[in-house]
Amino acid sequence: MKENLSEDIFQNIKILGSDDIRSLVSMSEAIDVMAKAFSGYSSGISQMPQRYVSGIPGSGLDIFFKPAYDKRLGRIAVKILTQKRGGSLGEIPAILGVVLLLDMNTGAILSMIDGTYLTALRTGAASGIATKLLAREDAETIAVFGCGTQGKTQLEAICNVRPIKQALLYDINIDAAENLKSTMAERLDISIHIEQKLQNLKQADIICTATNSIKSLFSRNDLNYGVHINAIGSYKPEMQELDPRIIKSGILFTDSREAVLKESGDLIKPLKDGVFSENIIRGEIGDVINSNVSGRETTDDITIFKSVGLGVQDLFIANLIYNKFKGD
């Protein structure tokens, strides 16, 4: 009898792939739910136990274990994810994983959801809500550094919240840039250019960085005043995408103050060198959503959203996907 019960429980787990996610949740819906996720996290309602990140020696692979729960939702999410340093291998994406969605009252697994596209969707949506809150209203040109799966959803999200007319694509892998250009040219009515030099970066009103770089991608001198930056790479202490002088001259917001200070080389390195103090962080993006701190103040401000990715993002997007699948 116990065996039958166990079989019934496993038969009830809904397995949802990337095509299911695309058909169920639009980018605009994902952006809206990210606002709720960040608001709940910064107000202390959502809980996120310490995540685990480890490099596997000799493999060029990082593995992530990220749990989160929220009593309002009555749900728990656990994401298991791998990320290949150096980018994708042919048709195999650089980021692979699954998200388990559980009932908080019974502990039952409700769904197993493709974590590869879910991660790209919620990360793009995070930059979308940050851009909506912090970028200039008249922003028309975006530059994307890193043209993999993350680059696609970054571009899609920004075009969802600002009247983008032009995109500049940067990637050390020209094939990846060409692929992103051809893919997004079919979806977006904008001009897309592949760039290899930084001389045109001053045209950018918004910059998204989604790389595994260990050194700054560009300098303060490459930027124009008023730019907004979404920095979503640099999730480990040895990684660094942003020139510390950019951070020092800008207004910095994070997804999680605690997580960024522990995990991102964008802050860990310059803090260790005494370039600036932890007070450089004005607040979390959830604090802006909750109206506890101000965002952009002038058109010349350089605003920065530094994200390492939070389990609460996975929880809220997984919950949305599952509820829409169930018709709730």
Starting at the edge strand that comes first in sequence, how are the strands of the sheet with 141-145 ordered? 191-195, 166-170, 141-145, 206-209, 228-231, 303-306, 251-254, 281-284
Distance from C-alpha of 42 to C-alpha of 287, rounded to nearest angstrom: 6
Distance from C-alpha of 302 to C-alpha of 289, rounded to nearest angstrom: 19
* pLDDT of 1 higher than 50: no
- Main-chain dihedrals φ then ψ at residue 299, nearest 5 degrees: -70, -20
Q: Between these two residues, 141 and 97, which has the higher pLDDT value?
A: 141
pLDDT in tens, 14-72: 999 999 999 999 999 999 999 999 999 999 999 888 777 788 887 888 888 889 999 89
| Residue 151 binned pLDDT confidence (cut-offs 50, 70, 90) | very high
* pLDDT of 178 higher than 50: yes
pTM recorded for the entire structure: 0.90
Share of the chain above pLDDT 70, in %: 95
Q: Which range has the worst mean pLDDT, 1-15, 25-39, 112-126, 274-288?
A: 1-15
Length reported for the chain: 328
Q: Between these two residues, 85 and 301, which has the higher pLDDT value?
A: 301
Give the pLDDT of residue 281.
Answer: 97
* pLDDT of 277 higher than 50: yes
Residue whose C-alpha is closest to residue 108's, from 26, 11, 219: 11
Domains of the chain in sequence order:
2-118+312-326 (3.30.1780.10), 136-309 (3.40.50.720)
Q: Which range has the worst mean pLDDT, 50-64, 91-105, 138-152, 182-196?
A: 50-64
**In the predicted model, what is the mean pLDDT of residues 319-323?**
97
Run of H or E residues at 34: helix 27-42
- Residue showing tokens 């001389």: 199
Share of the chain above pLDDT 90, in %: 78
- Residue showing tokens 């999200």: 157
Average pLDDT, the chain: 92
Give CA angle at 209 (40, 45), nearest 5°: 5
Run of H or E residues at 158: helix 149-161
Give the pLDDT of residue 236.
Answer: 84
**Contact between residue 33 and residue 320 where contact means Cβ atoms under 8 Å apart:** yes
Residue partners of 30: CB distance under 8 A and separation at least 6: 121, 122, 124, 125, 128, 157, 317, 320
pLDDT in tens, 16-29: 999 999 999 999 99
Give the pLDDT of residue 328.
Answer: 72
* pLDDT of 9 higher than 90: no
| Residue 11 binned pLDDT confidence (cut-offs 50, 70, 90) | low
* pLDDT of 7 higher than 60: no
**Contact between residue 95 and residue 314 where contact means Cβ atoms under 8 Å apart:** no
DSSP state of 87: S
* pLDDT of 4 higher than 70: no
Structure token pair of residue 210: 């989604």
| Residue 86 binned pLDDT confidence (cut-offs 50, 70, 90) | low
* pLDDT of 3 higher than 60: no
